[in-house]
């Protein structure tokens, strides 16, 4: 829903470059869809044992917050239409995000999204294993009191598609910075260019009593 990946990319790359390390674009794409902690671990492994993880965490967080405070966070095209359609059809909605609760809450507020529209928000730090494991999606389905097989999951990352598919959900991908791999394509019910394309799909599917994640 939120166009946050470019912000994380700039913050992580700059925070790593200041002490002389490189997080290039191809490596960054491998980090998408996981938790912040998992990304930090992967960056530390890539950069070697002398990498200052604590300093890096403080610096990227400060850079990220500064950019968001200055410019906000844009909604992705079609988000408003999907939310309005879901509300009109009475489809319950939940959020399953790999971001920590602090960052998720800050991001949603910065984007101006009304969190009251969602019955639940499950974040990466609230579960034992985040995407591509299915647990975050299974937890959202549980909180929505919905059968996971009746849930439509909208995702922009490969890890998210794999997680939603493993949870038994109808996984629709709206690719972000990283083009869908063959594995993502194999696990996605559909791949669309914009969330606006999901609206007619949602209207057809809502009659079976599903939920939107």
pLDDT at 103: 86
pLDDT at 47: 94
Residues 44 and 126 in one domain: no
Residues 108 and 177 in one domain: yes
Residues 160 and 115 in one domain: yes
Residues 186 and 132 in one domain: yes
Whether 9 has a pLDDT exceeding 60, the answer reads yes
pLDDT at 178: 85
Given 24, 42, 71, the domain boundary residue is 71
Report d(CA 102, CA 118) in Å as an integer: 17
Q: Report how far apart the first and last C-alpha atoms of the chain are (Å, whole number).
A: 11
Residues 25 and 101 in one domain: no
Whether 211 has a pLDDT exceeding 70, the answer reads no
- Number of structural domains, the chain? 2
Residues 93 and 194 in one domain: yes
Given 38, 71, 104, the domain boundary residue is 71
Q: How do residues 10-41 score in pLDDT, each as one tens digit? A: 999 999 999 999 999 999 998 988 888 889 99
Residues 56 and 84 in one domain: no
- Structural domain including 35 reads 5-71
Phi–psi pair at 132, nearest 5 degrees: -90, 5
Whether 207 has a pLDDT exceeding 80, the answer reads no
Residues 50 and 101 in one domain: no
Q: What is the pTM assigned to this prediction? A: 0.87
pLDDT-based confidence at residue 210 (cuts at 50, 70, 90): low
Given 24, 55, 71, the domain boundary residue is 71
HSE-CB at 165 with a 13 A cutoff on CA atoms is 18
Indicate the helix (H) or strand (E) that contains 151.
strand 151-155
Residues 58 and 114 in one domain: no
Residues 61 and 166 in one domain: no
CATH number of residue 103's parent domain: 3.40.50.1000
Contacts of residue 90, Cβ cutoff 8 Å, sequence gap at least 6: 206
Residues 101 and 50 in one domain: no
H-assigned helices in the chain: 5-17, 25-29, 36-47, 53-71, 79-89, 101-111, 135-144, 158-166, 182-187, 198-205
pLDDT-based confidence at residue 212 (cuts at 50, 70, 90): low
Whether 50 has a pLDDT exceeding 70, the answer reads yes
Report d(CA 30, CA 193) in Å as an integer: 21
Averaged pLDDT, 123-142: 93
Q: How do residues 71-96 score in pLDDT, each as one tens digit? A: 999 999 999 999 999 999 999 999 99
Mean pLDDT of the chain: 91
- Calculate the alpha carbon distances from 81 to 73, 76, 107 in Å: 18, 11, 20
pLDDT at 209: 56
Q: How do residues 93-117 score in pLDDT, each as one tens digit? A: 999 999 888 889 899 999 998 888 8
Residues 118 and 164 in one domain: yes
pLDDT at 34: 84
């Amino acid at each position: 829903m939120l166009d946050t990946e470019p912000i994380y990319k700039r913050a992580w790359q700059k925070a790593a470059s200041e002490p002389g390390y490189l997080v290039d674009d191809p490596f960054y794409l491998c980090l998408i869809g996981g938790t912040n902690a998992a990304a930090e671990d992967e960056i530390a492994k890539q950069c070697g044992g002398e990498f200052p993880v604590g300093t890096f965490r403080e610096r990227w967080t400060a850079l990220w917050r500064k950019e968001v405070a200055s410019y906000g966070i844009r909604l992705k095209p079609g988000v408003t239409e999907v939310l309005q359609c879901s509300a009109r059809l009475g489809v319950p909605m939940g959020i399953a995000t790999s971001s920590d609760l602090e960052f998720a809450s800050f991001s949603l507020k910065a984007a101006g999204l009304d969190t009251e529209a969602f019955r639940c928000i499950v974040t990466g730090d609230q579960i034992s294993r985040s995407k591509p494991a299915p647990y975050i999606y299974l937890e959202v389905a549980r909180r929505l009191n919905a059968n996971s097989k009746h849930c439509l999951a909208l995702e922009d990352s490969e890890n998210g598609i794999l997680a939603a598919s493993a949870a038994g959900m109808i996984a629709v991908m709206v690719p972000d910075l990283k083009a869908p791999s063959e594995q993502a394509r194999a696990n996605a019910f559909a791949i669309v260019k914009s969330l606006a394309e999901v609206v007619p799909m949602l209207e057809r599917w809502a009659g079976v009593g599903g939920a939107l994640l």
